Structure formats: structure tokens, C-alpha cells
Amino acid sequence: MATVRTRGSLKRRGRAPRLDGAAASLAASARRRAALRKIALFLGLVVLAVLAFGRSEGVSVSIQEGEVWRQEDVSAPFDFAIRKPDDVLRAERQAIRDLTPPVFRAVPDVRVRSEERRDSLRARLTRALRLAAAGAPARSVDSARAGGGLPLSARQWELLQESFGRAQGEDAARLDARIVQSAYLVALRLEESGVLDVPIDTVRARSIVVRNDDARSEHVLATSAVRGQDQVFREAREALLAEFGSRPDTVAMGTAVVGLLLEPSLRYDPRATADAVRSAMQGLSPSEGAVRENEVIVREGDVVTAEILRKLRSLEAEESERRGDRFGLAALAGRFLLTLAVFLVFFLYLYLLRRPLYDDNRMVFLMSILFAAVIGLYAVAVRFPSVDMYVVPVTIVALLLTVIFDSRVAIFGLLTLALLGGLYRGMDFTFALGTLFGGSLGVFSVRDIRNRGQFFLSAGLVFLGYATVIAGAWLVEASSTERFLSDLLFAGISAILLLLAYPLLWVFERTFDLTTDLTLLELSDTNRPLLKELSLRAPGTFNHVLQVANLAEAGASAIGANALLARVGALYHDIGKMVKPEYFVENQRLAANPHDQLKPHMSALIIASHVKEGLELGRQYGLPKRVLDFIPMHHGTTRIEYFYRRAKEQEASGEAPTQDSEFRYPGPRPDSKETAILMLADSIEAASRTLRSPNHKRLEALIDSMIDARLSDGQLDEADLTLRDLHTIKETFLSILLGIYHVRVSYPDTEPDADSEAAPEDA
């Protein structure tokens, strides 16, 4: 059945007001800038999503060893080699590095240089000992000792001096000469056997290659036949102990002399060794066996063995190489088109079905931030194998979109992110379906959120959704239990992370000045300071707003509007009356009516001022804009009827002419269903109190008259209410008002006003 809209709705479908040239140009320029911003956000998301794919080595086989192949038979489209697994290749390469004999160069004239160092050391020691024996200054003696480069302790120097004194010039009897000669012979023997310039434990091969550049020869030595730097001093000490016995000072001096005289006879050649390793690597085959064209690799229903898995992965790698770089222009263009299609689903939905949201760049930017955050987490999961994509908390975005906007926006956003995640996982239908199903359960669990504890219920439902799809896929594909448990674990982590939606919601509310249902729930508490103050300073008004809140909430719920917003707006719509409560009839008792001493024009100003004062109080207490809008819109631009008529009466008796505009509220008129419902509820609730012995017929007539009055006055022109909506609201109000019997003063042949004060005779 087609719906008939009110006059305001019909007006909006007509021709828009004509603008002058300058204004039209500015408006067009603003529209172009807004459109460019949205296009930039859209393309930015698409580019970010494409880059998140990253480089890949080819599509990896998702099935594991031991699972059953549920797809069609796979045959080789061409001949290809069966590649060795990466870990096997790494192990073989490392074995080649370890077992290839390293190359060493023979150092020429080692013996000659050792002899020269021996003679020099002997001469310096002789000179130092002679200076000491002749009583030379200590400074000269120390200088001569240091020139030899041999570190000596005080005790060792004393032993050398004593031996020098006893020998009386005979070299053979001198301890220093014996030590130097013995150390020289030890060093010579070690050099002839081969001394490496590197520690022996760095040589893992069983043999080494020795190249003699002078003789242009090359021979192989067993690693056990040569000495490393770490072995030389140990063997030298053992040889000196055999000669000098248990004389530690003498053995220590001899070992130090060996260090001075000895020179490595074999120097490591890293370049030649690397060439040898590289040459050996060339003989390493990266494959083992081959598959011929048309050979069946795996049949449907086969259990995937290690050999079948190697063949499948080898086929994928071969196809990848034949196609070229997977991050080439063709692959990049394909990813761009797929990503573009995914995001178009969401943005076309906003453009075609949610135009107010699409036109609000601030809200589009907020959605883009949420999408970009999930894309960034997807990119991390794609690049790090230890992070499974199931752990990405996609459902947080769905819940935030539900609370901030509604479930329809959330479902389309969830669909977009689920499809995108499926693309990242190589067209993984299970991941996309699991994310969509689990996220949908979470969305529906917070669709009508009434407390923040519902996030815990949502986490459980999200995990249940994921588990259902993962278990179903496990049973259909007969995949391994390890994979099933792993996916289930990561999905559980994602569900737990859903609890972060609460603090994130708080951040977005403050950053983007949002008013969510959770904020409205907090504002609906009548113990909040502002409402508490209203109940103390204007108790009659407080009772009025409670009744109006009940009416507005019921009316909004009946037509599918935001009932919670309507209730909260009703609770705060008359807070301005607490500034001058005695001027409003619901707060007057038996005291004199203050309006009796005022002219109608002044009374009207006081009555209308509660709108401005209410806005100031609301801003002072931090009420959000969506709630503040109810304060001026609940009266719109209606006329303060009682004082207008009184002014008309005085005009007939000689007073100045009365202007209609002086007795109207400043507005604006209601621009939403909720504010329009509040206008009707406020006026009808106040008017119903004027009825004596209210019954069904009188209440119905009253409601009809009030709605007709607002329609004829054009107050509902900007509200998107249909005649069917108005009929539903009327029936809802009538049902509630039948239980209300609070009586107010009635004025014959007049339309009661929500804020009109009592007549003089009844005040």
C-alpha cells in the first residue's frame, strides 16, 4: 500500500528554491569539494587494500598432509620437476658450506722471520741484563726490557738476572738464552706442521686445501694435521713443561716467547673458499624426480601424502614462474578490480539508500578510518605466518557501526571487510562466511543496546558464529584436526578482542561528537544533576516532562523511529523553565499569577525565553547536539495562543495593534520524526490536562484537533512523517492518555498551549 506524505514531505519533492548566481556558484563549489573528498577517501581505501596484499611467492596449498582432497582431479598440464622442500634445500646448502674444504695460502719465509725475531729478542734481553748488572739507571733498564716486547713480572726478571750473574757471560748457561732457543724450536716445529690464522673449531670440513703461490702448487691436508690458534699455545706449554719441568715462571716465559716468535704459516682465503662453495652449490639439484604432462597428481577423495603435497606445490611454483612476477601489472590490475568491486558494494549502498550519511563527509571519514584499521591488521596477518587472519577483530568494526549508525550500515560494512579478507586468504570462502555470520550475530546482539554489558554477550555470539562455520568446513573438507583447532583458537582470540569495542566507542564519541544509544541511556537517568535540579526547582514541569517522555517514546516506537532519542529529548526539552518556574501554569499553586501584572507582549517574551534559557543550560551541562535540537523544535514556530488572544482583546479596547510574529516561538520547526513526535506529545499532554472528565471521545477529538492545528500551521513540513505515521501516533497517544486523569484549566473556544499559564480566575 502506498504511503501518503504530509505537506512538508510533498514540498521537499517539488522544485528547490532558486538561488542567485553567487550563492548557486558557492553551493556548486562546495558540492564539488565534498565529492572530491569522498572520491579521495574511496580511492585511498582501494589503494591501501591493494598494497596490503603484498608480494607473494605464489598461491600456497591450503590443504595439509593427511587431509582428504575434496576438489576435482588434478593432472599435470606440462612437464615439471618435483622441487625439494625449502627446509631440505636449506639443509643441503648448509652441508655443502660445512663440508667444502676451506682454502688456505701458505705464508712464505715463515722460518726466516721467526729466526730474525728470535735474534732480536735475544739481543734486547742481553742488553737489558747487562745494563742491570752494570748498575745502570732503572729507567734505562726498563726501556731496554720493553723494547723486546716480552712482558715479564718482577719475579721472572729477578730469575733472569740471577741466571745472568751466575753464567758470567756464557750464553749456554743463561736462562734467558735457553728459554728463547727452546721457544724458537717449539715454534719452528709447529710452523712446519701448519698453523692456521683462525681457530680450529671454525673449520668444519675434514680437510683443507693449501695453495702455495710461489711453487704454484696445491695439496690437501687433513684438518687433524694442522693447528689452530687456540691449539698452538696449549701444545707449546706442554712441550716447555717437558723440558723445564715444574718451573711455572720459566714455562710461562717460554710460552710468551712462543707467542712472539710464532707466525701462522697458513692464512685463510675467504674469496677462494667462497668460489669453492659456489662451485659445489652448482652441482646441487633443487628437484628430485619429475612429473610428466597429463600425469594425474591427485584424485578426488585421495588422502594427501607428503609426495602429493610436494607435487602440488611444485606445480604451483612452476605456474607462478611461467606467469612471471605475481606482483606485476596484470596481478596488480586484477587485485585493484576485485578490491574496487568490494568497496563499491558499500559505497553504492550509502549513495543510493543512505544519502544523508553519504553526504556527511565527517561520517564517511569515520567509516574510512575503521576500514583502514582492519586493512592494516589484514596486512600484518598476510605478512607474518604466525598471525592468522582469524585473529583480526573485524567484528569490532561491525559493532561500532551498529552502535554509531545502525545495523544496516554495519551489515554492509561487515560484508565488505569479510569479502576483502577472503581475497587476502586466496579466495577463502570459509573465512568470508565465518566473518559474515559471526559478525552478523554480533550486530543483531547490539542492535537495541541498553547497557555496555551486552558487549560480553556479543563476544560469545561472535565466537559461536565463527565456530559454526569453521566446524562445518572441517566436516565437509575433512581437514586436519590441528588446523580446525588452530582456526578455532584464533577465532576465540578475535571474539575476546571484541571487548575493546567499548573503549573505542568512547574515543569515537568524543572525537567525532557522536551521540550513540549508550550515551542516550546515560542521559535518560532521572538522577542526573540537570534533571534532579529540574525536579526540585520546577516539580510541575518535571512531572509534565515525564508524561511527555512516555508519550514520545511510545509514539516513536510505534512508527519505527528512535524511541530512546525521543524519550531523552522529551526529558530535557523544558529544562529552561527552571529559570522562572513560577511563570508556567504547571508550577503555580494557589499563589497569585505573576502574569496578572504584565502586559501580554511581556508575558509572551517570558514564556518564549525558556527556549533560549534551555539551550544555554543544555550547553552548560554538555548535552549533545541531537538532544539540544529538541529544546527549540518542540515548539517550532507555534503561536503563544493565550497571550495572543488577550492582546487581541486589549487591541479592541484601544491598545496598539498586535503583530502575530511577536507571539511566536523562534523555532526552528521539527526536522525529524523524533522532534515532530515530541511537539505533538508535548502539546497533547498539556491540553489533555484541561479536559474535565476526559473520556475516549473527548481525548480522540482533542488529539485530532491538535494534530490538525500543527499541520495547518505548517509545523510538520520539515518532518518526514506520513499520514499513516500520524494515524499510528494518534492511536498510540490515545491508548496512553486514557489512563491519565490529571485535570488542567480549560478555556472555552480556545486551543490550549503547552506552556500557557493559568487564566486569572483559576490561577
- Residue 369: inside a domain: yes
- 595 shares its domain with 704: yes
Cis amide prior to 632 (ω within 30 degrees):
no
Unique residue bearing C-alpha cell 695460502: 105
> What pLDDT is attached to residue 324?
59
> What pLDDT is attached to residue 253?
87
- 580 shares its domain with 492: no
- Residue 280: inside a domain: no
- 192 shares its domain with 117: yes
**Starting from the edge strand earliest in sequence, which strands make up the sheet with 217-222, in order?**
217-222, 207-212, 103-106, 266-268
- 529 shares its domain with 644: yes
- Comparing 251-255, 484-488, 683-687, 759-763, the range with the smallest average pLDDT is 759-763
Check which CATH number belongs to the domain holding 494 and give it. 1.10.1760
- 124 shares its domain with 236: yes
Residues 420, 342 contacting (CB under 8 angstroms)? yes
- Residue 214: inside a domain: no
- 367 shares its domain with 487: yes
- 580 shares its domain with 493: no
pLDDT tens-place string over residues 147-180: 777 788 888 888 888 888 887 666 667 888 888 8
| pLDDT surpassing 80 at residue 11 | no
Please give the Cα distance from 533 to 522 (Å, whole number).
17
Name 287's bridge partners: 83
- 317 shares its domain with 432: no
Unique residue bearing C-alpha cell 567484528: 395
Residue with the larger pLDDT of the pair 489 and 761: 489
Q: Which of 514, 546, 581 is the last residue of a domain?
A: 514
Check which CATH number belongs to the domain holding 643 and give it. 1.10.3210
For residue 487, give its domain range: 29-54+328-514
How many other CB atoms sit within 10 Å of the CB of residue 324? Answer: 11
pLDDT tens-place string over residues 266-299: 999 999 999 999 999 888 888 888 889 888 888 8
- Residue 758: inside a domain: no
- Residue 102: inside a domain: no
- Residue 481: inside a domain: yes
String of b and e for 421-444 (b: at least 16 CB within 10 Å)? bbbbbeebebbbbbbbbbbbbbbe
- 113 shares its domain with 87: no
In one-letter notation, the amino acid at residue 615 is L
- 245 shares its domain with 303: no
> What pLDDT is attached to residue 732?
93
- 255 shares its domain with 293: no
Unique residue bearing C-alpha cell 577463502: 428
> What pLDDT is attached to residue 464?
94
Q: How many domains does the chain have?
A: 4
In one-letter notation, the amino acid at residue 747 is Y
| pLDDT surpassing 60 at residue 55 | no
Our measurement of the distance from residue 66's CA atom to the centroid of its chain's CA atoms, rounded to an integer in Å, reads 36
Residues 673, 561 contacting (CB under 8 angstroms)? yes
Residues making up the chain, counted from first to last: 763
- 365 shares its domain with 341: yes
CA distances from 296 to 262, 272, 291, 308, 642 (A): 68, 46, 9, 10, 94
Q: Which of 471, 489, 514 is the last residue of a domain?
A: 514
According to the per-residue pLDDT averaged within each range, which of 18-27, 70-79, 635-644 is highest?
A: 635-644
Indicate whether this model's pTM tops 0.85.
no
- Residue 289: inside a domain: yes
pLDDT tens-place string over residues 441-474: 999 888 776 666 777 888 899 999 999 999 998 8
pLDDT tens-place string over residues 293-338: 888 888 876 888 888 888 888 888 887 777 655 456 777 888 899 9
CA distances from 341 to 11, 171, 440, 599 (A): 37, 98, 21, 68
